[in-house]
């Protein structure tokens, strides 16, 4: 049985994670952590998630529940995640990180912990998205250097704070790697005014923010005469939460290292 603590338990993903952990027969809802000073400290985390009393009260720091859990699941913000990563490394815990929007410097800091604890870090925990990454790698290898333009279009709810989505960037990286291109050089994130025609090797990104869209990604491979589109649509946050719980169970049995969902699912991308 894997004892799980959920950070940001009052957030959108946090509340969904309470449902996913409660539904999994191999995991225990061990602790829920809210922001320091939050008025929700002391609330029952089952009630916060609309599940009824679960007998676990929210605390406002990982230190307050350090003896209760084995794996921390963190979907918060980059700064909070890095603090929790340091805490887990110091206290012999494991961590699953779903937080997106990290800068290169923050990812470098995160990577510095790879020898100190087992961690899973993935911008998208959905099994379907991770399979889609594999399909994109195959499509990019077959089409990318044969005159097909590659464009990534992503849509999310109006509250999302980072753009393009971590998933869109990951899709871009997988395709760029498959084609021997560098996304930093070939990624195009803005087109406005007299920006000229596209180049052959660029990978373009477009962002939509509207309403309550959970998460949609389409990658277009377009050439003269035909267009292939590979689309993934998430209709509920439960897909991310179930993937995170699967990652938590998996990482509980791994040696120190930084892993992604491709490792959890054995997809080898
Ligand atoms: P949210 O704003 O609804 O939730 C974040 C929660 O963290 C809030 O309740 C906030 O109070 C809490 N928080 C802030 N500081 C804290 C602290 N020090 N300790 C404990 N809790 C703290 O956001 P969300 O929609 O749940 O998304 C959170 C993150 O997860 C974002 O980066 C989002 O992009 C990412 N996300 C990733 C995936 C994935 O599959 N990897 C899926 C969905 C969302």
Task: Choose, from 19, 156, 186, 232, the residue flagged as catalytic.
Answer: 156
Pick the atom of ligand 1 nearest to 244's CA: 40
Residue 269 banded pLDDT, cuts 50, 70, 90: low
Q: Report the alpha-carbon distance of residue 173 to residue 133 in Å, rounded.
A: 10
The CA R_g of the chain, rounded to the nearest whole Å, is 19
Which string of b and e fits 142-169 if b means at least 16 CB within 10 Å? ebbeeebbbbbbbbbeeebebbbbbbbb
DSSP for residue 38? -
User: Is residue 95 exposed (0-12), middle (13-18) or buried (19+ Cβ within 10 Å)?
Assistant: buried
Residue 46 banded pLDDT, cuts 50, 70, 90: very high
The answer to whether 147 touches 198, Cβ cutoff 8 Å, is: no
Domains of the chain plus CATH, in order, are 2-121+237-264 (3.40.50.720), 127-234 (3.30.360.10)
129: Cβ below 6 Å to ligand 1?
A: no
Nearest to 4 by CA among 45, 36, 38, 41: 45
Q: Pick the residue whose CA is nearest to atom 2 on ligand 1.
A: 11
pTM: 0.87
Pick the atom of ligand 1 nearest to 10's CA: 9
User: What would the pLDDT profile of 216-248 be if each residue is shown by its tens digit?
Assistant: 999 999 999 999 999 999 999 999 999 999 999
Residue-level pLDDT at 267: 82
The answer to whether 232 touches 129, Cβ cutoff 8 Å, is: yes
Residue 25 banded pLDDT, cuts 50, 70, 90: very high
User: What would the pLDDT profile of 152-170 be if each residue is shown by its tens digit?
Assistant: 999 999 999 999 999 999 9
The preferred substitution site among 19, 32, 76, 129 for testing ligand 1, maximizing ligand atoms within 8 Å of CB, is: 76
């Amino acid at each position: 049985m894997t004892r799980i603590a959920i950070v940001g338990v009052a957030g959108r993903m946090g509340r969904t994670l309470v449902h996913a952990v409660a539904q999994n027969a191999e995991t225990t809802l061990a602790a829920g952590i809210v922001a320091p000073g939050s008025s929700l400290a002391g609330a029952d985390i089952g009630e916060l998630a609309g599940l009824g009393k679960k007998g676990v009260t929210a605390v406002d720091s990982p230190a307050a529940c350090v003896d209760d859990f084995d794996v921390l699941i963190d979907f918060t913000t980059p700064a909070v995640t890095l603090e929790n990563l340091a805490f887990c490394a110091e206290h012999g815990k494991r961590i699953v990180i779903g937080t997106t929007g990290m800068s290169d410097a923050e990812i470098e800091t995160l990577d510095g912990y790879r020898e100190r604890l087992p961690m899973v870090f993935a911008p998208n925990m959905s099994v379907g998205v991770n399979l889609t990454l594999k399909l994109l790698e195959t499509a990019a290898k077959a089409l990318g250097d044969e005159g097909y333009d590659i464009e990534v279009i992503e849509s999310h709810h109006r509250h999302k704070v980072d753009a393009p989505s971590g998933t869109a960037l990951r899709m871009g990286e997988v395709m760029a790697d498959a084609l021997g291109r560098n996304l930093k050089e070939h990624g195009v994130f803005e087109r406005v005014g007299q920006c000229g025609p596209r180049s052959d090797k660029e990978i373009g990104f477009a962002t939509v923010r509207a309403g309550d869209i959970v998460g949609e990604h389409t990658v277009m491979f377009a050439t003269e005469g035909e267009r292939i589109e590979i689309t993934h649509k998430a209709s509920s946050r439960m897909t991310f939460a179930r993937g995170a719980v699967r990652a938590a169970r998996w990482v509980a049995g791994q040696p120190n290292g930084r892993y992604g969902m491709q490792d959890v699912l054995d997809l080898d991308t």
